[in-house]
Amino acid sequence: MKGRVAPILLLALMLGCQRPKSDMAVQDRYDTLTPYPGSNQASERIPPDGAVARDAMDDRKPAMTTTAIRDGHRQFDILCSECHGRLGNGQGMIVQRGLTIPPSFHIDRLKNAPDQHFYDVITHGFGAMYSYNDRSSPSERWEIVYYIRALQQAADVAGAPADVRRALIAAGDRAPKTGVPQ
């Protein structure tokens, strides 16, 4: 009986070692940048279902409204105030914990920066700040930009005490100790 089991076991092992036809390593496929059959250009290829073109993302600048500023205030308090402070002066909770001092939004460089700069920094990060691209939608990022502009204008209002304006600007003049650019 033992003499018959060994050849059967050997035959089963040999059949089990063959690659099945459904193995992904041996499937028909198209290599990158190779012509698609029946087409001369890669741009004519049909994208898979559910694919979204990179340029189809809606990051166009919406209109600035009071609702957008109010929503931007809410998002700023959630995402930005722990670093930049609730006044945008760079004195958030992380500074009290000894981490890098972020720039104040009340310095001339950031007051004169275009809105797109703030949007790009929120989207891609800058210096010690990491990207908030996955934490906020494009419209929420624009709302935050509008709220930052409202903070900047509020600090410039003629009725604001001069010492408050000086304190906001002075907070932004402190350079971070880590050497990360502002």
End-to-end CA distance of the chain: 82
What is the domain-level CATH number for residue 107? 1.10.760.10
Question: Strand, coil or helix: what is 95?
Answer: helix
> Residue 179: what pLDDT?
40
32 within some domain: no
42 within some domain: no
Rounded Cα gap, residues 62 and 143, in angstroms: 9
2 within some domain: no
Return the bridge partners of 129, or none.
Answer: 126
Task: Please tell me the total count of domains within the chain.
Answer: 1
182 within some domain: no
CA distances from 99 to 83, 84, 95, 102, 152 (A): 9, 12, 5, 9, 24
Helices (H) and strands (E) in the chain, counts: 8, 0
**Whole-prediction pTM:** 0.59
Q: Express as a percent the part of the chain with pLDDT over 70.
A: 60
164 within some domain: yes
107 within some domain: yes
- The domain of 116 spans 64-173
> Residue 166: what pLDDT?
66
> Residue 10: what pLDDT?
76
Encode pLDDT of 73-130 as tens digits. 999 999 999 999 999 999 999 988 989 899 999 999 999 999 999 999 999 999 889 9
50 within some domain: no
69 within some domain: yes
Mean pLDDT calculated for residue range 6-20: 70
